[in-house]
Amino acid sequence: MIRITLTAFLGLLMFVPALHAEQQFETISCYSGTTKPFHDNKDLTLVMGWDLDGIFMSRSENKFLDNATVHCEGIWRDMGENRQMQAYCRIIDPDGDMAVVKWNAKGVDASAEFLEGTGKYKGIKASYKSEPLARGKPPIKGSFAGCNTLTGAYELAE
């Protein structure tokens, strides 16, 4: 009996690292936001501040970030095809756990890295790439709306 119990226990221990192993995810992020000019000098490259609010809808079996909301604040420097954008985002899941993400874009390439978090996201290692999925016509001047597909990987701390 002891041998069976010990074998079962050791077998379960083998799966503990797998619970914290890197997992892939795909999420749809839909958002809307507003822009604010940084300056109004037509001789300078256009620079604008922006903020957005949105929600994530997981397309992965692991449901990573499903129904989490997001708020981002950033800056955008428009240089045509070489535009640059940087932001910090706060993601809050339905349980109230939060993650802080640093988001960067250059041209059409956009990616993000998780910096820190609370609850299940404490010690998280995660990043993702962002691809445009839909862009709507701005509902009012100085606004924007759309959806992106986020694909990446995450690993929760043990």
Q: Which domains does the chain have, with CATH numbers?
A: 22-155 (2.40.350.10)
51-76 pLDDT per residue, tens: 999 999 999 999 999 999 999 999 99
pLDDT averaged over every residue in the chain? 89
Per-residue pLDDT band at 12 (split at 50, 70, 90):
very low
Angle, CA of 156, 105 and 120, to the nearest 5°: 15
Contact 144, 138 (CB under 8 A): yes
20-39 pLDDT per residue, tens: 689 999 999 999 999 999 99
